[in-house]
Structure 1
Amino acid sequence: MSSSLPPPPVPASNTAAAPEVRFLLLPLPEFSLLPFGGFLDKLRFSADEADYSRQRHCEWRVLGLSAGHIVSSSGVATAIQVTPGQIRLADYDYLVVFGGRTARGSQALGEAYGGLLREAAAQGVPLVSVDNACFMLAAAGLLNGYRVALHWRHVQEFHAAFPHIRVVEEQLYCFDGPRISCAGGSAAIDLAVELLARHLGRIRALKGLADMLVDAPRAQGHQLSSLDEDAHAGRHVGRAIALMRSRLADKTGITELAALVGLSRRQLDRLFHAEFSLSAHDYWQEMRLQHVRWRLLNSDHSLALLADEIGLQDASYLCKVFRKRFGQSPDTLRRQPH
């Protein structure tokens, strides 16, 4: 029987060398595992040589208000490594906050976490919000005067809650001085690459992407033209859908929308019919009504506000078109357990 080769020797750690960049990771209750895991694994790959996973070039700790575990939206628990009383916030280069399952839930945590975040900001630690964590930062008064990037699904809700804060749409992440924001999902990997590149250099920041089966990092202005049900749509249709998402309340007509993607209305309708068996107008109307349905189940905002979010004239007209599409009134849907 042939014997296997011994594993390669692990290089001796250099205990004298301090990490070039240090992160505090703050997952909120019911946080999403995808952005948290993607961000953390990118740090791990860049932190050491080969795949030894030691925290040499960068360091991280999972922060919580109290010791124990914090449960993600999928029910998987993550151990809290440090609490505020065990660390000096100023020793860290970034405090990265990962949002909860809903924007409403994250916003409600502003009072509980606000003191910690304000203390970090006062000590010069840049605050990074991932996904809907920006709702909590905004509720704590920490985004006044700053721009924010967030998931397209939450844009209208954020506008309604914080109309004085500027949202940069169609961006994966945004750097605005000591405030950094990210739309969430796999964009957390792209953000991690950019942060690491600023401290460790581009080569080390890119390390491990092939192991993560990521072709290349995306720039902050990368436009997501194909999402969910339109994942196989062509370039023109994908771009039209991205514009529809960012203009739910606009009075833009299909003719103008088609011109923005370089087509006539007839050409755009033909492409939508081929892809979805719907006209571009009907597809946009369905998108708007699905947005309202999601908001009814995930917020307590008024029907008048939701009507305004999708460009309808008033709440009564919203009720009419909603009942026609879903067979029940918005109030009936909201009262149902979910």
Structure 2
Amino acid sequence: MARTIPDMGTVALAVTEGMLHFELSVAYEVFGSAPAGVPVTWYDVAVCGPGAVRVGRFLLQPDHGLDRLPHADTVIVPGWADVEEEPPADLVDAVRAAHEAGARVVSLCTGAFVLAAAGLLDGRRATTHWAHTDALSARHPRVEVDRDVLYVDDGSVLTSAGKAAALDLCLHLVRLDHGPSVANTVARRLVVPPHRAGGQAQFVATPVPARDDHPLAALFPWVIARLDRPLTVEDLARQARMSSRHLGRHFRAATGTTPLQWLLTQRIRRAQELLEATDDGVDVIAAATGMGTAATLRRHFNRTVGVPPDAYRRAFRSRSRPGPYDSPRHRDAPGRVTGPGDGTGP
């Protein structure tokens, strides 16, 4: 189906009776208004439904009918309240038609049941809220249900676990479309971490304690300011005024990983930012991130991110300068991204 310029960057929120209001609100908050000062063309959000629908305790009047979905770049299906019931046929048909027309289709939480009913998850990895993964697997045995991730990016079809994981996936979409710096700006506006622990492939997590009184609260910014230096666990323990063993316990509790792995994660993330925002060579970036040599950076970057630094730069430098045709359907899918968790955490 041909697309016109006004359709580029359209995010359609597919709603019907029985949708969960939290996931719908998350998607509208992320895509509905541009963060201040970002040099990109923001999304045009269309709320689409069969007519006035009740979402939670609220009566919602959609802007468009479900027939608008096939004209959108991205279609988002929020959580479906009653997973024991089959989703409405008109919604299922519209979501299937949107995918066939080339839209990127996304489910938040139990919205995966709608995608599965449309046949979009057959033969794919997918996830949903941990409390409903067994039901999804039983009802749709051709779906490879992953119970232990925050979200799954399978290219043109993406699914998230429950509640807060919906926000993680929405921020991931912004990263795909506009790059890490814009996604981080959105995350700061929402006062949430830019990416939760466990991200793989294109993105790397930056877990930090949520409380200012956490024993490591002062250590994290100290480390971030010194990523170009050859820091050791002993250096971190000395700065935190605790033993290396005690430091390791606090790190595991706060981030789910070890001090050295967390430090490597920060170095890789800084490398991503420099690759996107500067023209520095890989050797310069290696020095700026404490990797030492370009070969070391390439080895760790490729293993962690899934692509070489040069390939990452080519993909994301172009996304940081979007033009009128810079939309998901004009790009190659970046691959699969997953993260551990049940979708119920903060």
Flag as ranges the 4+ runs of structure 1 deviating above 6 A: 17-20
Counterpart of 1:71 in structure 2 is 54
3-state SS in 1 of match to 2:96: helix
Q: Distance in 2 between matches of 1:81 and 1:36?
A: 14
Whether 2:186 is the aligned partner of 1:208: answer yes
When residues 215 and 114 of structure 1 are mapped into structure 2, their CA distance, relative to the original with a 3 A threshold, is closer
Q: CA contact under 8 A between 2:35 and 2:189: conserved in structure 1?
A: no
- Report the number of matched residues: 201
- Conserved 8 A contact 1:36-1:188: no
C-alpha distance in structure 2 between counterparts of 1:64 and 1:200, whole Å: 28
- Per the alignment, residue 199 of structure 1 pairs with 177
CA–CA distance in 1 between the matches of 2:97 and 2:15?
A: 17
Q: 1:190 touches 1:219 (CA, 8 Å); kept in 2?
A: no
What does 1:40-189 correspond to in 2, within 5 Å? 40-45=28-33, 47-50=34-37, 56-65=41-50, 67=51, 69-73=52-56, 75-85=57-67, 87=68, 89-90=70-71, 92-105=72-85, 108-189=86-167
Trace 1:304-315 onto structure 2 (pairs within 5 A): none
Alignment correspondent of 1:252 = none
Corresponding residue of 1:229: none
Residues 121, 44 of structure 1: alpha-carbon distance in 2 compared, 3 angstrom cutoff: closer
Whichever residue aligns with residue 81 of structure 1, its letter is D
Which segments of 5 or more consecutive residues in structure 1 lack a partner in the other structure? 1-16, 223-233, 240-338
Q: Percent identity?
A: 23
1:115-138 deviations in Å (ceiling 9; x for gaps):
212211111112111111211222
Look up the match of 1:29. Answer: 17
Q: Is the 8 A contact 2:77 2:114 kept in 1?
A: no
Match for 2:196 among 200, 205, 218? 218
Kindly state the Cα deviation for residue 165 of structure 1 after the two structures are TM-superposed: 1.2
Letter aligned with residue 93 of structure 1: D
Unaligned runs of 5+ in 2: 200-204, 206-249, 257-346
1:97 Cα shift?
A: 0.6
User: RMSD across aligned C-alpha pairs, in angstroms?
Assistant: 3.0
C-alpha contact (below 8 Å) 2:69/2:95 kept by paired residues: no
Task: Provide the C-alpha distance between the structure 2 equivalents of 1:50 and 1:187, rounded to a whole number of angstroms.
Answer: 26
Q: Which residue of 2 aligns with 1:328?
A: none
Query: Does the aligned pair in 1 maintain the 2:49–2:66 contact within 8 Å?
Result: yes
TM-score, structure 1 normalization: 0.53
Report 1 or 2 for greater relative contact order, CA contacts < 8 Å, sequence distance ≥ 6.
2
Is this contact kept in 2: 1:19–1:57, CA < 8 A? no
Counterpart CA distance in 2 for 1:48 and 1:120 is: 28
Equivalent residue letter for 2:12? L
Moved more, 20-29 or 140-149: 20-29
Contact 2:16 2:91 in 1 (8 A): no
In structure 2, the CA distance between the partners of 1:203 and 1:100, relative to structure 1 (3 Å rule), is same
The C-alpha deviation readout for 1:240-298, integer Å capped at 9, x for no partner, is xxxxxxxxxxxxxxxxxxxxxxxxxxxxxxxxxxxxxxxxxxxxxxxxxxxxxxxxxxx
Contact 2:19 2:80 in 1 (8 A): yes
- The 3 A distance-change label for structure 1 pair 184 and 59 is farther
| TM-superposed deviation, 1:195 | 0.6
AA aligned to 2:78 is F
Give SS of 1:208's match: helix
The letter of the residue matching 2:158 is: I
Displacement of 1:151 after TM fit?
0.7
Any idea what SS the aligned residue of 2:189 has?
A: coil
Aligned to 2:224: none
